[in-house]
């Protein structure tokens, strides 16, 4: 091979090297540009999805306000699963930019309000039925926990007393001794709340309650309203919550059995309602036809606090807003809590 041929070979290698370098650079630039474009689209989709979910909460406020105004105009005082605010979950809302909103509004009265159990009389004395009902509730929840029997090592009596100690206004344990002794040994130390429960998660701070038990209780209990609330709404509560109705069956204080729950559900079929004894509404069954003695805490038939779950999807992006709305001020429903997920 002549020197000239060798020079041509070297030049060719150099040209090929730079050509390869150029192709590689173009490919890298294209890849990065594609990723940047995807990131930009995802950010836009995320912003739209969050805005759509937040808008869902506004829709919920409007529906609840409209329902309250209509009921006030018609003189009605019952809330049920037949309301517009409940049925909206059945139909997703589509947007013109390809987004989808699914809105779910739930009556807080569809669960047992723990704070309703801690009302006291004028002398500040707690109703003696509270302790018994708490034990029955805890026993039912623990019995139905989907875990091995060996993991259900709870003392329901102690748990009930610890919960009462956490909420009541004194500094003494139900079983004697200082109320905060256990809590002061924790790291970091803290004290009992001595006020109404602010969330179901707060139960995890109470002596004897662990994450598994608290998670199992979520389907049964709520803390809304914080004060002045009644018991279970007989027209919206599901069967497992209706089974927490606590009353005197003529012999003893008991939780509602299957027969009682079935009668309530039968009365609610095809748009039927359960109503208080003093109220007369067409298609309404007075509760005293099903449960003859007083229920503790007294059931509700109309609700003011609702939980809202607004789930929005735009492309592959999903955003969820979970809020709690109080509509006791009809003209201006208030958002009590707001979480974006």
Q: What is the mean pLDDT of each run of 10 residues along the chain (341 residues)?
A: 60 67 63 55 86 95 94 84 92 91 96 93 88 96 90 94 95 92 95 95 97 96 88 96 94 94 94 82 86 94 94 94 94 91 84
Q: Give the length of the chain.
A: 341
Q: Sheet harboring 295-296: ordered strands across?
A: 253-255, 246-248, 295-296
- The pTM (predicted TM-score) of the whole model is 0.84
Helix axes 129-143, 156-167, angle to 10 degrees: 130
d(CA 303, CA 232): 10
Closest CA to 213 of 164, 275, 143, 307: 143
Closest CA to 236 of 302, 156, 313, 298: 302
Q: CA 122, 287, 112, 59 torsion: positive or negative?
A: negative
Three-state DSSP at 235 gives: coil
- Residue 236 · residue 110 · CB < 8 Å: yes
Could you tell me the domains of the chain?
Answer: 1-109+302-341 (3.30.1300.30), 116-220 (1.10.40.60), 234-301 (no CATH)
């Amino acid at each position: 091979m002549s020197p000239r041929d060798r020079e041509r070979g070297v030049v060719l290698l150099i040209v090929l090297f730079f050509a390869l370098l150029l192709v590689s650079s173009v490919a890298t630039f294209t890849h990065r540009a594609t990723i940047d474009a995807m990131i930009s689209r995802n950010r836009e989709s995320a912003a739209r999805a969050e805005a759509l979910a937040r808008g869902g909460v506004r829709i919920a406020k409007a529906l609840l306000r409209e329902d309250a105004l209509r009921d006030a105009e018609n003189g009605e005082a019952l809330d049920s699963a037949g309301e517009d605010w409940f049925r909206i979950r059945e139909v997703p809302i589509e947007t013109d930019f390809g987004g989808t909103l699914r809105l779910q509004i739930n009556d807080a009265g569809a669960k047992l309000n723990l704070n309703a159990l801690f009302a006291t009389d004028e002398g500040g004395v707690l109703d003696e039925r509270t302790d018994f009902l708490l034990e029955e509730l805890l026993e039912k929840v623990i019995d139905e926990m989907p875990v091995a029997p060996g993991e259900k090592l709870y003392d329901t009596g102690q748990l009930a007393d610890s919960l009462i100690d956490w909420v009541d206004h004194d500094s003494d344990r139900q079983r004697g001794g200082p109320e905060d002794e256990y809590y002061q040994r924790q790291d970091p130390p803290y004290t009992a709340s001595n006020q109404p429960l602010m969330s179901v998660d707060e139960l995890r701070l109470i002596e004897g309650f662990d994450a598994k038990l608290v998670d199992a209780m979520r389907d049964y209990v709520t803390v809304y309203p914080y004060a002045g609330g009644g018991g279970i709404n007989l027209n919206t509560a599901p069967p497992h919550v209706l089974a927490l109705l606590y009353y005197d069956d003529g012999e003893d204080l008991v939780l509602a059995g299957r027969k009682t729950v079935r009668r309530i559900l039968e009365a609610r079929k095809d748009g039927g309602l359960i109503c208080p004894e003093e109220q007369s509404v067409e298609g309404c069954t007075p509760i005293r036809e099903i449960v003859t003695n007083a229920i503790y805490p007294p059931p509700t038939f109309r609700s003011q606090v609702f939980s809202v779950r607004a789930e929005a999807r735009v492309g592959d992006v999903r955003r969820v807003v979970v809020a709690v709305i109080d509509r006791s001020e009809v003209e201006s429903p208030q958002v009590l809590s707001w979480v974006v997920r």
